Amino acid sequence: MTAGGDIHRALLEGVSDGVLAVGLDGEVRLANPALCRMFGLDPGAIVGRSFGEAFVALEGLDEFTDAVLDAVAERSSGRRQIVSVALGDDPRSLSVSTSYLTAERAGGAEPVAVIAVIADVTEVRELRETEARQARVIETQLDELREAYRDLETRNEAILAMRKRVRLARGVAVLFVAGLFLAIGGWYVRPLDLFSATVAPDAGAVAVDAGTLSTLTVEPQLLRSTLALRGLLAPGRVEEVVSPIESHVVEVHAGHGQRVAAGDVLVAFDTRQLAEEHRRAEIEYIKVRERLAVLEDWPNSAEMTHASHALRRARGALEDAERQLARVDFLLEQGIVSASEFEAAQRSHGDRQLDLEAAERELAAVAAKGGAEGRRLARLEVENARGQLRAAEAKLDQATVRAPIAGIVAVAGGDTPLARGRSVVQGELLLSIADLEGLAVVTDVGEVDVRKIETGQRARISGPGFPELEIGGTVARVSSRAAEGGGRGGPKFEVAVDLDRLDAAAWDLVRVGMSAHVEIVVHERPEALLVPIGAVERLGGAAWVRVVDPDTGAVEQRAVELGITTLDSVEVETGLAAGDEIVLPAGGGGAFGVPGLEAGASPFGVRAP
């Protein structure tokens, strides 16, 4: 074979694309290794056979064989097409480029064979299809964004129109309320009756026939103010269980909603890696402990013995060299030996002296290893190894997670639920256990009412799920920080009310997650002095009531300090005593008849008639 033929064959064997040559008689003339690997064929079984025997009989190559046979039939060069074939269970896309190999004849160049170059373009084709799909998806998303933007613009225009209507309605309402208050004010400031029994604060006592007035004797009575809220029943305490180690779960023994007792097995971890770490730690601990034992008895150690023996050998060798030098020196004086022998004896003596010095330094260095500093370092290594061994033992002990308390299991959510084979990291939340020995109602309250609630206040709990049951409770927690996302209703603060211990019958009725109504007693006074709202007058920033003198029957104005206001009464904290007789307004009216006003206040700051 010529050198040019070898080069051409090396080139064909080195290219990554398949090359196939088919003669016009249908015989396969050439098939490079890349082609055989592509179709899973043996090169020796293809070359020399007909194209039909080699390829047509194979399944899934119809488009490929048609492309080659068409090129043979049409005898045209420069043709390229993409065909789909099934190589086993894997569909592939091939680029087939065909051309003709010509030979010089008497009548000119004549085609003698078809050359086909086959390249696997499956990945390129899939990439282009993926790009096309992504382009279509992006175009669809852009259309959706444009449509959403148009909808948003339409809604904004509708909201602006609605805001204009609301402002108009609000202005009309303000004008109506202003007119109403002006009418009420005109009624209150009408000319006073000169014969009225009302006494100004600075007028002192006035003798009036009490029998002609409507009076009321003030008696102590229970005053209770409550705040009604709505919430959900929740466990009184939730214990979170986290992973003590980094490992893989091999068994989950407690499912969501399952009741467990304290000490029950919840999760078991894979211990193979932990056991291997424990073995390595134990081996290291044994090694450093043996090293410490050697250092504690260092003078009798193998290193010290070896260094001592080396020093003794060096001394012996030096003594032999000194005797040999003295003998050669004597023989030199007698003229028996030459000067060169004496010089060799001198060099040998010097070498032995250097060996002795090296042996002495080696013994000193070995002895220093067993010194106080070396023993201290060895003890520290033993302590470190012992700590690592204990940590490995602790990890093995923590491979089984047990329930810290009795309660109901709640498995932590997430993308990967707690299951066999799942990997966990140290400190990861595995599950939580709700302690059902005590229940609580968790609710929230607005910023206006939160200052009325304090821990320790009593409450009554009821609910639609247990209508025949009323449970007592105590405020256990009032949040000092508003919850995130208060919404349009303003900031909300979380309040937890612990329920009193329930009996077996009550446990059969209540369930965690039920809705509950909570009535918290925010103020309670068993012997409060209450007077009708209309009996209180406001003058000069102070509150007054008319009191009948029991001895003279005269009516006097008495300043009082007010407390909580109810729907029809107001609490008097100072200024009155039990048994005092107060004068009621004619017709039972008064400034407090206007809804929403503070006890004893007139709408326009003047006293009521």
Name the average pLDDT for the chain. 80
Look at residue 108 in the predicted model and tell me its pLDDT.
61
Q: Which pLDDT does position 204 carry in this prediction?
A: 46
The DSSP secondary-structure symbol of 287 reads H
Stretch 47-65: mean pLDDT, rounded? 77
What DSSP letter does each residue of 552-589 carry, written as one string?
Answer: T--EEEEEEEEEEE-SSEEEEEES--TT-EEEPPGGG-
53: its two tokens: 């025997």
Q: What is the pLDDT of residue 309?
A: 92
Please compute the mean of the pLDDT values over residues 564-590 and round it to a whole number: 80
pLDDT score of 193: 38
Handedness of CA 492, 498, 499, 500 (dihedral sign): negative
**Which comes out higher in pLDDT, residue 14 or 322?**
322
- Report H helices in 15-121: 33-39, 51, 62-74
Strand order in the sheet with 28-31: 28-31, 18-23, 108-120, 90-105, 79-87
Q: How far apart are the first and last CA of the chain?
A: 135
Mean pLDDT check: name the lowest of 50-59, 256-265, 385-394. Answer: 50-59
The answer, yes or no, to whether residue 316 has pLDDT greater than 90, is yes
Q: How confident is the model at residue 15 (pLDDT cuts 50, 70, 90)?
A: confident
Determine the pLDDT at residue 16: 77
What local confidence, expressed as pLDDT, does residue 319 receive? 93
Residue 550 one-letter amino acid: P
Segment among 117-131, 208-222, 263-277, 322-336 with least mean pLDDT? 208-222
The H or E element spanning position 436 is strand 429-446
DSSP 494-557: EEEEEEPPP-HHHHTT--TT-EEEEEEEEEEEEEEEEEEGGG-EEETTEEEEEEE-TTT--EEE
470 touches 460 (CB < 8 A): yes
Is 80 exceeded by the pLDDT of residue 2? Answer: no
Q: Which residues lie below 8 Å from residue 464, measured CB to CB, with a gap of 6+?
A: 515
pLDDT, residue 197, reads: 36
Longest distance between any two alpha carbons in the chain, whole Å: 168
pLDDT at 104: 67
> pLDDT tens digit string along 581-596?
898 887 544 333 333 3
Rounded (to 5) percent helix, strand, coil in the chain = 40, 30, 30
Q: Kindly state the average pLDDT of the residues 464-489.
A: 84
**For position 485, what pLDDT does the model report?**
65
Which residue type occupies 598?
A: E
What mean pLDDT is predicted for residues 24-35? 81
Lowest-pLDDT range of 43-57, 344-358, 387-401? 43-57
Q: Work out the pLDDT band at 239, boundaries 50, 70, 90.
A: confident
Please give the residue that has the higher pLDDT: either 494 or 15: 494
Per-residue pLDDT reduced to its tens digit, 363-393: 888 888 877 888 888 889 889 988 988 888 8
The pLDDT value recorded for residue 332 is 85
Comparing 34-43, 132-141, 305-314, 588-597, the range with the smallest average pLDDT is 588-597
**Mean pLDDT, range 151-173, rounded to an integer:** 87
Are the CB atoms for 26 and 50 separated by under 8 Å?
yes
Q: How far apart are CA 118 and CA 88, in angstroms?
A: 18
175-179, 187-191, 195-199, 320-324, range with greatest mean pLDDT: 320-324
pLDDT at position 98 over 80 = yes
Q: How far is 100 from 73, CA to CA, in rounded Å?
A: 11
Asked whether the beta carbons of 83 and 67 are under 8 A apart, the reply is yes
Given a contact cutoff of 8 angstroms between Cβ atoms, the answer to whether 459 and 471 are in contact is: no
The answer to whether 517 touches 462, Cβ cutoff 8 Å, is yes
Mean local confidence (pLDDT), 173-201: 59
What percentage of the chain reaches a pLDDT higher than 90? 12
pLDDT category at 203 given cuts 50, 70, 90 is: very low
pLDDT level of residue 3 (50, 70, 90 thresholds) = low
- With 80 as the cut, is the pLDDT of residue 568 above it? yes
pLDDT tens for 329-361 read 888 888 888 888 889 989 999 999 999 999 999
pLDDT, tens digit, 9 for 90 and up, residues 294-312: 888 888 888 888 989 999 9
Mean pLDDT of 428-434: 83
Q: How large is the angle between the packed helices 302-333 and 339-369, nearest 10 degrees? A: 160
Instruction: Give per-residue pLDDT as tens, 478-537.
Output: 988 888 766 666 888 999 998 888 887 887 888 888 899 999 998 888 888 889 988 898
* pLDDT band with cut points at 50, 70 and 90 for residue 8: low
Mean pLDDT confidence for 199-212 = 47
Residue 458's pLDDT band, with cuts at 50, 70 and 90, is: very high
Q: At what angle do helices 372-397 and 272-296 cross, to 10 degrees?
A: 160
Q: Please give the pLDDT value at position 447.
A: 87
What does the chain come to in residues?
609
d(CA 452, CA 348): 106
